[in-house]
Amino acid sequence: MDWDDVRVFEAIADAPTLSEAARRLKVSVATVHRRLDIFETALGLRLVERTHAGVYLTQDGLAVLDRARAAALAMTEIPRCAGTLRQTGEQPVRISAPEPIMSTFLAPVLPALLKRNPALRIEIATVSDGPVPHDAEIALRFARPEGGTLMVQRLGLLRFGLYAAPPFLNGRSPDQLDPRVERLLTGDEHPDETAWLARHQLAAEVVLRASCTTALLTATLAGVGIGLLPDLIARKHDTLVPIPVPEPIPERLIWLMTYRDLRGSPRHRAVRAWVLETLQAAGVAFRTRATEMLAEMDAVA
């Protein structure tokens, strides 16, 4: 079995059409068709149904996809393991996190990490909440990911609230505001937040959705409307005033992930320790002390 066939099949599963899979792989559509035919013939199974509207996986295809993803993840372990064994200190440590965590908490204190570890090289990526990229060695997420090679640890909670700036308040008291008739601003809503907005008849008042928390904060400070913001970010700005809510906005769990083969790497341990210390110092509601969490990760077999 050719590994390229597995790679093509995984791309087909993630794309709405074979043409889109070909574009993402940077190959021709004919190549995608040929690789899929070879893969299905080798397995003796029909994995993909082709229709005018696009492609979808059969039940056999879905079952094979689980193994294909595991194989793809295992392949990424090889260069990561080799880098750990070399331990030259020159390979960058790749950190992936949702934009509000990276931009507000981690990026501003990178100098402290590099001062303590001058040989470190860092690559950072801001992402929407979702699967951990194969090349991300340390990742933070608001949802627990799955993966047999991942070490996953629940860190704590990020709390949210509604906030308004003086230009929007225009002299009004926060207690006088009814969010159901005011302009609301939100970021990439978590399903719990979407349900909260609907439950309190607030969804129709959302006039701005921003995929970037920095943009959402800037719009709130400018007086565009009432922003649904993480408390720790809003409280960095003295001009923002909390607006009473009918019930607390759902909190988000923060999860830290790395790979088991990196557990013994001093460079990755230094970065994990820095992440934990930074978030706890910023006021994230941790379930225990950062030092205890680091010890827990070190003890994982």
Residue 139 three-state SS? strand
Is a pLDDT exceeding 90 seen at residue 183? yes
Return the bridge partners of 295, or none: none
Across 80-94, 164-178, 189-203, 231-245, least confident range:
80-94
Q: What is the pLDDT of residues 31-61, one digit of tens each?
A: 988 988 888 898 888 888 888 778 888 888 8
How much helix, strand and coil, in percent to the nearest 5, is found in the chain? Answer: 50, 20, 30
β-pairing, 206-209 vs 285-286, is unpaired
Q: Check whether 100 has a pLDDT greater than 50.
A: yes
- Report residue 141: phi and psi, to 5°: -145, 160
pLDDT at 246 over 80: yes
Arithmetic mean of pLDDT, 116-129? 84
Q: What percent of the chain has pLDDT over 70?
A: 88
**What is the residue whose two structure tokens read 């800037």?**
218
Note the pLDDT tens digit of each residue in 19-30.
888 888 888 988
Interval 133-162: pLDDT, tens: 566 788 888 887 765 567 888 888 889 999
Domains of the chain, each with CATH number or no CATH: 3-78 (1.10.10.10), 87-158+252-299 (3.40.190.10), 160-243 (3.40.190.290)
What's the rounded Cα separation, in Å, for the pair 26 and 33? 14
Q: Can you give the pLDDT at residue 301?
A: 45
In the numeric block, which tokens belong to residue 72? 């793809």
| 275 DSSP 8-state letter | H
Dist CA 61 CA 50 (whole Å): 12
> Model-level pTM?
0.64
